[in-house]
Amino acid sequence: MNFYMPTMVYQENDAVKNHSEQMAGYGKKALVVTGKHSSKQNGALQDVIDGLEKYHTAYAVYDRITENPTVDAVMEAAAFGQQEGADFVVGIGGGSPLDAAKAVALVIQNRDSSKEVLYQNISLRHLPVVAVPTTCGTGSEVTPYAVLTREELQTKQSISHLIFPELALVDGKYLKNAPLSVITNTAVDALGHMLESYFHTRATDYSRMLCQYAMEVWGMAAGVLFGTEPEEEDYGRLMFASSLAGMAISHTSTGLPHGLSYYLTCRKAVPHGKAVGLFLPGYLSVLPEEYEPQVIMALRTLGFGSLGQFLGFTQEVLGTLGLTEQEEQEMVEGIAKNQKKLDAVPFAITKEQIYQMCSMVR
Ligand code: NAP
Ligand code: FE
């Protein structure tokens, strides 16, 4: 077994403020990469700016990253960062700005490269990245992945380079005023990471340990998704569960539900977490009988009595989709060609079983 997780993580109240000296010390000028609105509303952007100013580190803000960032958006942000002379990158937001920040850090470092470099299998250096998550889903603050939309291929794909942030500053307070839909969609993405990583070809006792504890912590806070009045600690719990699940997928990568989700996101604009969550009951249902004790353990740890109850949960909080037969066929045929995702499944899955997973989404 082996396990590698090089990101320095602080999870605490006022994490950015408490560790701003370290954050500001990665270079002379930061490129802050974020989305249009939320980091201004939840205070994360101001916390980062205050921290950089306190230690006299210059910065420039690029705040035009949208959901499911494209390769072109990354190239635009990188050109801006180069022009500004940035020598490190601070990503603030959900997975979209954090992933964009990693890809931008690669492009800025490799000055004259074109966008093709993102998907080339060559070893390249990148600028240091600091990650400040504001959703509870992707775990991008502790993963080496940067998932971008490749418009010409009508799909999403992680870039070829593995870029762990140097520093992750995790604070549940940024979630407090988020709409329930953002909390739900992202918490369900984290759930997908736990389950796909646990039932993954590359899972080891190290990664399963992270998944198991992530499930326990997630289960403690899941009432929030059903509309239970949140306890103060629930926001931190959801973020913690997301980071733990991120560490697990850093080791294993994600599995089939993520592979299938990209079709729904790219073709039908379904948010990432929802697109993943809809396939999770189906994935558990096609696991061979010998996995049953582990499936029961996972569901109980999360707070579900049975697979049926779990399906009820995903349908209640995520809704259903209205997929046509043609769409279902395209999705299954597409994933059946994706050897990487098929290899992630720890048994020989058939096309019929993938159809079965999809039928639970309709
Ligand atoms: P996101 O796409 O980053 O953001 C979704 C929406 O939530 C945006 O409208 C954003 O607004 C808003 N938002 C973010 N934080 C908020 C807050 N605290 N309060 C209110 N609104 C908030 O969402 P995400 O689900 O976190 O990230 C999804 C992306 O991550 C996908 O591209 C997915 O493929 C990728 N992903 C990456 C990994 C990885 O390991 N790197 C793993 C799984 C998924 P603004 O635009 O205004 O900020
Ligand atoms: Fe995900």
Instruction: Give the per-residue pLDDT at 110.
Output: 95
336 lies in the same domain as 191: yes
User: What is d(CA 173, CA 20) in angstroms, rounded to the nearest whole number?
Assistant: 17
Counting the structural domains of the chain, the total is 2
SS3 228: coil
User: What is d(CA 15, CA 27) in angstroms, rounded to the nearest whole number?
Assistant: 19
What is the per-residue pLDDT across 161-194, written as a single tens digit (0 to 9) for each?
999 999 999 999 999 999 999 999 999 999 999 9
Q: CATH number of the domain that 66 lies in?
A: 3.40.50.1970
Instruction: Give the per-residue pLDDT at 155.
Output: 86
Contact 100, 69 (CB under 8 A): yes
Instruction: Give the per-residue pLDDT at 276.
Output: 97
Over residues 301-315, mean pLDDT: 96
109 CA → ligand 1 middle, Å: 25
320 CA → ligand 1 middle, Å: 21
35 lines ligand 1 (CB under 6 A): yes
Strand partners, 62: 33
Dihedrals φ, ψ of 361, to 5°?
-95, -25
9-30: burial string, b at 16+ Cβ within 10 Å, e else = bbbeeebbbebbebbbebbeeb
- Count CB-CB contacts under 10 A for residue 162: 15
251 lies in the same domain as 270: yes
147 lines ligand 1 (CB under 6 A): yes
144 lines ligand 1 (CB under 6 A): no
CA angle 252, 254, 260 (to 5 degrees): 155
Query: Looking at the predicted structure, is the pLDDT value of residue 361 above 90?
Result: no
Residue 49 within any structural domain of the chain: yes
Residue 3 within any structural domain of the chain: no
pTM score above 0.85? yes
Reading the block at residue 34, the tokens are 């974020």
136 lies in the same domain as 259: no
Fill in the DSSP letter of residue 3.
-
Residue 322's pLDDT band, with cuts at 50, 70 and 90, is: confident
Strand partners, 157: 148
| 103 Cβ contact list (under 8 Å, min separation 6) | 69, 71, 74, 78, 118, 146, 148, 159, 163
Instruction: Give the per-residue pLDDT at 257.
Output: 97
What is the per-residue pLDDT across 58-112, written as a single tens digit (0 to 9) for each?
999 999 999 999 999 999 999 999 999 999 999 999 999 999 999 999 999 998 7
Give the number of the ligand closest to the Cα of residue 141: 1
Residue 196 sits in which domain range? 180-359
What is the per-residue pLDDT across 250-280, written as a single tens digit (0 to 9) for each?
999 999 999 999 999 999 999 999 999 999 9
Residue of 42, 64, 99 to test ligand 1 pocket, by largest number of atoms within 8 Å of CB:
99
